[in-house]
Structure 1
Amino acid sequence: MFKTIGVLAHVDAGKTTFSEQLLFHTKSIAAVGRVDHQAAFLDYHTLERARGITIFAEHGRFQIEGDTYTLIDTPGHVDFSAEMERAIRAMDYAVLIVSAVEGIQGHTETVWQLLRTHHVPTYLFINKVDREGADVVQVMQELKQQFSPHIVLYEEAVEFVAERDEELLAQFMEDSLSEEAVFASLRQLIQQEELFLVMSGAALKGKGIQAFLDVLHNTTVTNYDVALPFQAEVMKIRHEGEQRVTFCKALQGELTVRTDLAFGETREKVTEIRLYNGNSYQAVQRVIAGEIFAVKGLSVPQIGDYIGATFDKGKPYTLIPTMQAKVVYNGTEHIKEVLRLFRLVEAEEPTLKVQWQETFQTIYVHMMGVIQLEVLKELLSSRFQLSVQFEDPEILYEETIRTTVTGYGHFEPLKHYAEVHLQLEPNERGAGITFSNACHVDDLTIGHQRLIEQHIFERAHHGLLTGSAVTDVHVTLLTGAAHNKHTDGGDFREATYRALRQGLEQAENVLLEPYYAFKLKAASEHIGRMMTDIQQASGTFNAPIITETDAILTGQVPVATFMNYPTTFLAYTNGKGAISLTFAGYDVCHNTAEVIERIGYNKDADPEYTSSSIFCSKGKGYSVPWQEVKACMHKETI
């Protein structure tokens, strides 16, 4: 049986040390490495050892009584939480490490919510019980109150199980309840996320590790089907020089070396299969469902894709960057070569969303935080001997519409022809761009209709207010036209972009900005300061929860006004306050006019977009401004 176990935590809770102990106690490694000694088995990258934090989700393998476990040690720093979320999708079970001293910390809440979003059965390990100030009872109270009442100490698990099954309760009362019956019930409840077992110990000293392993082994089960056609999810990409190594989780079936895989119209052959354990690997001829493995020979699939029997894009990830930064490069390499290297790194870290502005020959990257930029600089220097700087990060804005409109685009310079009519409607917040097709095949062939849909999704389209990406819009293809002789491949791209833009010109446009969901906990005396700060930051808050000693305040606040607030909060609470910030999506910008003026985007001078259309008369193409386009359309307009 193959099982994938992920270890997650707020930074410095002891996650990597715990992972090392699991590997050591199962004889997968000969000695326990330490983060502070730069000797951790799974934190083997130079960047990780230099900084003393986990940056990359790496995995080891160990055996218990014939079962094979893949252990994933994930980053605990918020700047690398996207790497953590990608690893979560590959986990069968998760272990959330919580410090017995600090208890629930800001990032602990983010991790818990992600695990619930992705429905990963979860164990908890209260670590550092040997430290001064450790209080397991207090931490358990916090966990039950803030996370789930079904968080239960292992010592109390028998009673918990018996209370939920009349037959088991009768056996419990008669003192005849067998250990196997308890384990069977625990397995079911844990898989259904109706029970979250808690154990405690001190990972640095190995205390509680063997007991945890015993419980883990007896209460976990997986049911992968090897008989089904092969299917896997791409979870990570790395490069060895220019050669790509693609890491996957096999979800069903089996894969062998030399297998051909189809990616649309492209086919690629698996030339090597590897099973990694830390930085080393074993080449194998075959892997089966449930295993995490790496292959060489693939270049098409990206992180999150499903490959094998079908080739599909996976579900979008929850965590997305809220800032961007401009790359500053003054070296001797051509800027297009610098862009190529950034693209290599982007394949490994897709949240970077590397953007190239041809007109200004500049590169922008998206980012989760400043530490991520620092690590990116070091990575580019060590791998490619490339020295870059970044300008100060800026907030990533988005744009949407508030009204329903129809946009018209026509592209007809000499010997070219395409016309597109699109209806644009406001979408629910966070829904992104969606598409439906109301075009009849008598107007456009299926191929042309699909081409238009492809152009809708092939890139982020610029809004009119700041040039930021357009989102939360439902696009309906109403109709269009083509010419049997003159319609060329790129004509529908031109017509589609112009139709989108012409529709935006008619709509009421709205600027959106990213928001945090916050949770502040401090001594009751600070509640007035907390509420004032939120109001001054243009945020909103719910009714505060006030006890004899503490006050808790929750709500939403713009990222732009709050990204540096944790330092201020910890200062005035003397480091005793607790703050949690999680990305809460985009909503209406609190200072639209100020942002528009600062960015200074000129919608009529965007080299990539225009609202006008091109028509042809007497063998010459001529431009028609967006206000007059509807009257010039060849197809009947609404």
Structure 2
Amino acid sequence: MIKHVLNIGILAHVDAGKTSLTERLLFETGVIDRLGSVDGGDTQTDTGEIERRRGITIRAAVASFALGDLRVNLVDTPGHADFVAEVERALGVLDGAVLVLSAVEGVQPHTRVLMRTLRKLRLPTLIFVNKIDRAGAREHDLLADIRRRLSPSCVPLNTVDGLGSPAAVTRPVTDPYAVAEVLAERDDELLGLLVDGQTPEQGMVRAALARQCGEAVACPVLFGSAITGQGLPELLDGIAELFPAVPRVAVEGASATGTVFAVERAPSGEKVAFVRVRGGVLRVREPLTFFRGQRRSGGDGPRAGGGAGSGGAGRTADHAYEARLTALSVAGAPREAQAVAGDIVKIWGVPEIRVGDHLGEPGPANQAHFTPPSLETVVRPRIPGQEPRLHAALLAMTEQDPLIGTRALPGGGTSVLLYGEVQKEVIGETLAREFGVEAEFEPSRPVYFERPSGSGEAVEEIQRQGRNEFMATVGLRVEPAPAGSGVGYRLEVDLGSLPLAFHRAIEESVRLALREGPHGWPVTDVLVTLTRTGYSSPVTTAGDFRGRVPVVLARALKRAGTVVYEPCHRFEAEVPLEAFGPVTAQLAALGGEVRDARREGEGWVLEGKIPAAVVHEAERRLPGLSHGEGVWWSEAAGDRPLR
């Protein structure tokens, strides 16, 4: 009988072997009787046609296996940086993570991005060094790299004989002293034993390791091979013993709470959602409330999705809706009639559901840990007349990935936000295969945004004589707001001065109009105040206010003035000594600023800031400038005025 449940993620730089590792874990635990392969396109978690053909994971997938009375839900996430949004959503529902490295390639750039995020989230992490059977595999110098670049508190639990050959085998580290040395820094009892020259018992060391791993301060490391199965027994033991599992207990009477982290469509077209249950009991046909949005202290930021939200301090969810499930399937136990805390469950019967929605209560504030997309492209159908069909298909895709922000453009095109060119290719293939629309993409361009540089006001009144285009009076003032606050809106008129429907029309029109400022980019970090209103009953309609607001707001923004900003990344580049000059020159040519340069070992470590739009180009050029020895890492880090 299952008493505990554990949700873990498999994360890695692309091609480190995480999907192969997932297959091996399912094989070793008896879930499948034959190993699939990425090359053969028959793996359990890469189920989409595009995933199988390209050999990469695009959508998060869930597989389950049992270890005694523990059910492990394994979430296989994308490794390619263009699908980082999928990784972010998976991290929010995990109890632990297995970070996969290649014993040959070692610590790669995206590995470092993932590890920094895992540490920021304080998510318990175990490192699995894969491919020990490959020529060029490393152990001791790779451990040094892991300590230097990923975690200084890494604890190797096994070692390898015959490294770099098909005959490579693992054996456990049996000396408890070696493990205790790392753990003693945060364990006074262990430290006392070591100072006294005593060797602690193996059980005591293992308990300390489990505790520090659960607190995300120690990082166990295991070597192995997903192809040969070496190291897999130790990995399974580590998953069962070192990660904090959730007791699977049904708390009757408690409202079900959870997070929607993935949405797919059944062959019939019906939406199927993946939910991590956090509390209560979830059953079919019981009334449920879902919330879209999250608790937050500020307003909207630059566009990162299809719709406008609501600003204002202390706001909770933007939207709530009621639903009753028509069916559910608990991961690892599809015949169970209910889901409880810790379970991952597929649900049917909620047509409005989207990724990021929360069941039972609004989501926590400040959930995002990855930068929003920094590229934008315009998509048009190859066959004229299919513009509505294309736009509808892209809107359907945003249900699975809300960060693919879409908006219709004059002339039939649709704007789409992107992380990179591979994502663009996958969107094109998905449109053709799943929606029957052949699409053409314009070259990608950076996503900029505008902030007001001063204050400005404008008023348009109903004309008492002459022709009135809009039977509405609107006065608006715009002024700068604190960075990161998004869009704020407030009234300087009495709420009763207009019917509520007219107030709603004004606020909605303000938010819609701010999607395109004087320079053509979304306006953010702005406070808009309604200073004047008027209408003529019964002639005036909400449409008069919707027509008047964009004109008044544009005039107020012009008087205030706006500055265009570009999102930036903080970067760190490790380069050999002779590459210092060429690399710094190239970074400067791309608009980067090197703010610190220091000698480390046989090379330089460069730190600085660079426009997000050229990060991929800098990363692409680094190997050629550094003779293949350069290492690049970057993360979102604010913005700066566009030069």
Tell me the TM-score normalized by structure 1: 0.83
> Which residue does 1:464 correspond to in 2?
518
Q: Is the 8 A contact 2:476 2:556 kept in 1?
A: no
Question: Higher mean Cα deviation, 61-70 or 342-351?
Answer: 342-351
CA apart distance, 1:238? 0.9
> Which one of 391, 399, 408 corresponds to residue 442 of structure 2?
391
What residue is the counterpart of 2:396 in the other structure? Answer: 344
Out of 120, 135, 139, which is 2:123 matched to? 120
Amino acid at match of 2:609: Q
Report the counterpart of residue 32 of structure 2 in structure 1: 29
Moved more, 318-327 or 205-214: 318-327
Residue 15 of structure 1 aligns with an amino acid whose one-letter code is: K
Whether the aligned pair in 2 keeps the contact of 1:355 and 1:364 (CA below 8 Å) is yes
Which residue identity lines up with residue 432 of structure 1 in the other structure? G
SS in 2 for 1:304: coil
Match for residue 487 of structure 2?
433
Secondary structure (helix, strand or coil) at the match of 1:135 reads: coil
3-state SS of 1:462 partner: coil
Change over 3 Å in CA distance of 1:310–1:520 after alignment to 2: closer
Residue aligning to 1:370: 421
Determine the structure 2 residue equivalent to 1:165. 187
Alignment-mate amino acid for residue 6 of structure 1: G
Partners in 2 of 1:411 and 1:231 — Cα distance? Answer: 50
Task: Give the counterpart of 1:235 among 247, 255, 261.
Answer: 261
Cα displacement string for residues 16-53 of structure 1 (whole angstroms, at most 9, x for unaligned residues): 11222222222222222221222222112221111111
Native 8 Å contact 1:2 1:69 kept in 2? yes
Equivalent residue, structure 2, for 1:381 = 432
Structure 1: distance between partners of 2:284 and 2:619: 50
Cα distance change, pair 163–270 in 1 and its aligned pair in 2 (3 A): same
Partner of residue 582, structure 1: 635
Q: After the TM superposition, which of the residue ranges 321-330 and 304-313 deviates more from structure 2?
A: 304-313
**Deviations for 1:128-172, whole angstroms, at most 9, x for unmatched residues?**
233333222222222222333223323544333344333444567
Determine if the alignment matches structure 1 residue 282 to structure 2 residue 308.
no
Deviation of residue 101 (structure 1)? 2.1
Q: CA deviation at 1:403?
A: 2.2
Please say if 1:473 is aligned against 2:496: no
Deviations 1:312-344 (Å, cap 9, x if unpaired)?
998446232111112232326532122212211
Task: Quickly say closer, same or farther: Cα 1:411–1:64, change in 2 above 3 A.
Answer: farther
- How big is the shift at 1:272? 1.1
Tell me how far 1:561 sits from its aligned partner: 4.4
Aligned-partner Cα distance in 2 for 1:161–1:393: 48
- CA deviation map 1:70-111 (0-9, x unaligned): 101111111111111111111111111122222221111221
1:261 aligns with 2:288: yes
Report matched runs for 1:122-141 at 5 Å: 122-141=125-144
Change in 2 beyond 3 A, CA 1:563/1:103: same
Q: Which amino acid aligns with 2:524?
A: T
AA matched with 2:214: Q
Contact kept in structure 2, 1:59 and 1:70, CA below 8 Å: yes
C-alpha spacing 1:516/1:314, structure 2 compared with 1 (3 Å):
closer
Matches within 5 A, 1:133-282: 133-154=136-157, 155=173, 156-170=178-192, 181-223=204-246, 226-227=250-251, 228-240=254-266, 241-263=268-290, 266-276=321-331, 282=334
Paired residues in the alignment total: 584
SS state at 1:544 partner: strand
Tell me if structure 1 keeps the 8 A contact 2:459–2:532: no
Q: Distance in 2 between matches of 1:85 and 1:393?
A: 23
Does 1:40 pair with 2:32? Answer: no
Amino acid at match of 1:93: G
Q: Secondary structure at the match of 2:427?
A: helix
* 2:593 corresponds to which of 521, 536, 540: 540
1:204-239 Cα shifts (integer Å, max 9, x gaps) = 211111101112211222447753421111111111
- CA-CA distance at 1:302 after TM superposition: 2.1
Q: Which one of 431, 453, 456 corresponds to residue 402 of structure 1?
A: 453
CA deviation vs aligned residue, 1:471-518 (integer Å, no higher than 9, x gap)? 232445567566775664445544554454333112231111232333
CA–CA distance in structure 2, aligned partners of residues 411 and 209 of structure 1: 76
How far does the alpha carbon of each residue in 1:345-378 deviate from its partner, in whole angstroms, 9 at most, with x for none? 2211222212212x31222211111111111122
Alpha-carbon distance change, 180 to 495 in structure 1, aligned in 2, over 3 angstroms = farther
| TM-fit CA distance, 1:66 | 1.0
User: Among 568, 574, 598, which residue is 1:515 paired with?
Assistant: 568
Query: SS at the partner of 2:106?
Result: coil
Question: What is the SS of the residue equivalent to 2:133?
Answer: coil
| Pair 66,488 (structure 1): closer, same or farther in 2 beyond 3 Å | farther
* Corresponding residue SS for 2:379: strand
Residues 411 and 38 of structure 1, relative CA distance in 2, 3 Å threshold:
farther
**SS of corresponding position for 2:265:** strand
| Equivalent-residue separation in structure 2 for 1:265 and 1:569 (angstroms) | 47
CA contact (8 A) 2:380 2:390 kept: no
Structure 1 CA distance for aligned equivalents of residues 577 and 148 of structure 2:
19
Give the equivalent residue in structure 1 for 2:305: none
2:348 is aligned to: 296
In the alignment, which of 582, 594, 614 is matched to residue 529 of structure 1?
582
Could you tell me how far apart the structure 2 residues matched to 1:521 and 1:287 are?
48
Output the CA distance in 2 between the equivalents of 1:486 and 1:138: 79
The range that moved more, 219-228 or 319-328, is 219-228
Offset at 1:462?
A: 0.9
RMSD: 3.1
**Inter-partner Cα distance in structure 1 for 2:492 and 2:222:** 57
Q: 1:440 to 1:65 in 2, by over 3 A?
A: farther
Specify whether residues 168 and 571 from structure 1 end up closer, same or farther in structure 2 by C-alpha distance, changes over 3 A only. closer
Q: What TM-score, normalized to structure 2?
A: 0.82
Larger mean Cα displacement after TM superposition, 436-445 or 502-511? 436-445
Query: Would you say the 8 A contact 2:250–2:341 is kept in 1?
Result: yes
AA aligned opposite 1:398: F
Residue 636 of structure 1 corresponds to none
Deviations 1:356-404 (A, max 9, x none): 12x3122221111111111112212221232222121122221112224
Unaligned runs of 5+ in 1: 591-638
What's the CA shift string for 1:394-418, capped at 9, x where partnerless? 2222111222444556678589445
CA–CA distance in structure 2, aligned partners of residues 476 and 150 of structure 1: 52
Higher mean C-alpha deviation, range 145-154 or range 16-25? 145-154
User: For the residues of structure 1 that align with 2:493 and 2:367, how far apart are their CA atoms?
Assistant: 27
Separation in structure 2 between the aligned mates of residue 362 and residue 381 of structure 1, nearest angstrom: 17
Deviation at 1:426, TM superposition (A): 3.6
User: Structure 1 residues 163, 353: CA separation in 2 closer, same or farther (over 3 Å shift)?
Assistant: closer
* Code of the aligned partner of 2:523: V
Deviates further, 29-38 or 477-486: 477-486
Q: Any idea what SS the aligned residue of 2:431 has?
A: helix
Whether contact under 8 Å (2:501, 2:542) holds in the other structure is no
Mapped contact 2:582–2:625 kept (Cα < 8 A): no
* Percent pairwise identity: 27
Alignment of 1:604-623 (within 5 A): none
CA displacement, residues 264-307 of structure 1 (integer Å, 9 cap, x when unaligned): 57432211112357xxx936421111111111111223211212
